[in-house]
Structure 1
Amino acid sequence: MIILPNIEGDSAYSFSLTTFSRTGKLLQIEYALNAVSNGRLSLGIATSDGVVIATDKKVSSPLIDVDNVGKISEIEKGMGFVYSGLGPDARVVVRDARKKAKSYKLMYGEEKTVTEVVKSTASLMQQYTQSGGVRPFGCSILAAGLDENNTPLLYQVDPSGVFMGWRATAIGKGYVSAKGFLEKRWNEDMGIEDGIHTALLTMREGFEGEITGKNIEVGVLRKDTGEFKVLTEEEVQDYLNESS
């Protein structure tokens, strides 16, 4: 039997991973979502011919090597993840997704669809909300990939293990205004090039300081090639110059 201290409100449940508070919340998951909300902004846009994901990778000191601060990860040839929240937690999620995608390909001779990878990732994150000796992951993931019909898809996976598909969305600090901006800009006829420009315009909207190819990272999944690619700093800067 769990004996909780005599503390008013939800404070008595703050450190319990598996006990609901009086308001029906698992507060450790709420804290994990707070970690996501305080993380750098990341966003994704699904277009008619691909998916664009972008993130703020601005660093706190000019002494930090920006080349080794990437937040966008290739899971396999036609799939990429971007995160907001705690980097070490995200690396565990990325490593697990890569391992399971590779195992699937070795076993069945074909690549796993983004939907199946997302389901597996969501299951991993959900397990960490109900197991002893662990805590929820302090990150949310945006996943870009293709389904079995070669349709570009964008998914979001949260620390609770909930996953959902989006046409466009944002996570991290400033996500509310970013999603509002995307709602006004997104349309069904949007192509991949328009998606890249819209992603950069959205990032620029709430960016503190000068936005450049060094502090913005962009990943692009193109339907025609079926390949996911992280753009170089020079390519991002060229798109920024076109958007200005």
Structure 2
Amino acid sequence: MSTINLITSYFIKHYDLSASTFSPDGRVFQVEYAMKAVENSSTAIGIRCKDGIVFGVEKLVLSKLYEDGSNKRIFNIDRHVGMAVAGLLADARSLAEVAREEASNFRSNYGHDIPLKHLSDRVAMYVHAYTLYSAVRPFGCSFILGSYDKDDGPQLYMVDPSGISYGYWGCAIGKAKQAAKTEIEKLQMKEMTCRELVKEVAKIIYIVHDEVKDKAFELELSWVGEGKNQSKLSIDRVSDSDRDVQTGTTFTELHEQI
């Protein structure tokens, strides 16, 4: 038997080892394995309201030796774009850099901020390219992109390891995504402001957190919206121990209110 036939026979029997090989029933197992990495990760949610986008992430603390606030899962992509991730953090950081480069190049070429639809499509194409070749593996993360600008208002997109990009009013990724989606559907998102929604997002993260399996976690919150002067856009980020100046409360107090 020739070498080519041996290689072909090997991949027919081991179609789950390559991202470029379909199974007999039309599945690409490497992509499904990447999605499984996301499903085993901590929960991240993004919700769109009438004046911005609010992100919330349940960052699991696997060791008491970790420094507080390390390994953030919410990233600043551009002055009007934020990103929340679930899955392999190293993969997510790589994609965050890709998104930042796309946003920077767009501003250099066209002189204005990149539209979120264009940014999500560009990064989704990059993610999809890693599902086409046997020499690479798919990215083991999903991410939520949110932005606010004066022309398009708030926008929210989610990209999964297969490279598909969808627009949402509210979405969740990670191990408790189904429970989080159920809670998100109860909200009147189109009528709420960021100040109102940030408390609801914190509550959802606490509700879906599994205290039996995952006892320790840090709550990350961020939102994208109009600045105080109605022209400057800002991304505000707080951690579980920080004081939220705009809402006048701490997230520890929010936990006690639930």
TM-score (normalizing by structure 2) = 0.85
* Shift of residue 234, structure 1, vs aligned partner: 1.7
Correspondence for 1:199: 201
Correspondence for 2:140: 138
Looking at structure 2, the residues matched to 101 and 195 of structure 1 have their Cα atoms a distance apart, in angstroms, of 27
Q: Name which of structure 1's ranges 189-198 and 24-33 shifts more when overlaid on structure 2.
A: 189-198
Correspondence for 1:121: 123
Q: 1:14 aligns with which of 7, 16, 20?
A: 16
* Shift of residue 149, structure 1, vs aligned partner: 1.7
Correspondence for 1:216: 219
Letter in 1 for 2:253: N
Letter in 2 for 1:3: T
Q: How many residues align?
A: 239
Structure 1 contact 43–54 (Cα < 8 Å) conserved: yes
Q: 2:235 aligns with which of 228, 236, 239?
A: 228
SS, match of residue 184 in structure 1: coil
Correspondence for 1:3: 8
Structure 2 contact 45–56 (Cα < 8 Å) conserved: yes
* Shift of residue 240, structure 1, vs aligned partner: 4.8
SS, match of residue 68 in structure 1: coil
Distance 1:104 1:50, change over 3 A: same
* Shift of residue 24, structure 1, vs aligned partner: 1.4
Looking at structure 2, the residues matched to 145 and 234 of structure 1 have their Cα atoms a distance apart, in angstroms, of 23
Q: Which runs of 5+ in 2 are unaligned?
A: none
Q: 2:153 aligns with which of 151, 154, 160?
A: 151
SS, match of residue 82 in structure 2: strand
Letter in 1 for 2:60: K
Looking at structure 2, the residues matched to 148 and 108 of structure 1 have their Cα atoms a distance apart, in angstroms, of 17
Correspondence for 1:241: 253
* Shift of residue 198, structure 1, vs aligned partner: 1.4
Looking at structure 1, the residues matched to 128 and 156 of structure 2 have their Cα atoms a distance apart, in angstroms, of 20
Q: Which runs of 5+ in 1 are unaligned?
A: none
Distance 1:4 1:149, change over 3 A: farther
Structure 1 contact 113–146 (Cα < 8 Å) conserved: no
Structure 2 contact 50–189 (Cα < 8 Å) conserved: no
* Shift of residue 184, structure 1, vs aligned partner: 1.6
* Shift of residue 84, structure 1, vs aligned partner: 0.3
TM-score (normalizing by structure 1) = 0.90
Letter in 1 for 2:93: R
Looking at structure 2, the residues matched to 166 and 207 of structure 1 have their Cα atoms a distance apart, in angstroms, of 23
Looking at structure 2, the residues matched to 127 and 159 of structure 1 have their Cα atoms a distance apart, in angstroms, of 10
Structure 2 contact 47–189 (Cα < 8 Å) conserved: no
Correspondence for 1:178: 180
Looking at structure 2, the residues matched to 116 and 67 of structure 1 have their Cα atoms a distance apart, in angstroms, of 31
* Shift of residue 186, structure 1, vs aligned partner: 3.7
2:57 is the counterpart of 1:47: no
Distance 1:59 1:24, change over 3 A: same
Letter in 2 for 1:231: V
* Shift of residue 235, structure 1, vs aligned partner: 2.9
Please provide the CA RMSD for this pair. Answer: 2.3
SS, match of residue 105 in structure 2: helix
Q: Looking at CA atoms only, which structure, 1 or 2, has the larger radius of gyration?
A: 2
* Shift of residue 239, structure 1, vs aligned partner: 4.3
Deviations 1:146-201 (A, max 9, x none): 35723101110011110001111110011111111111224421211221111111
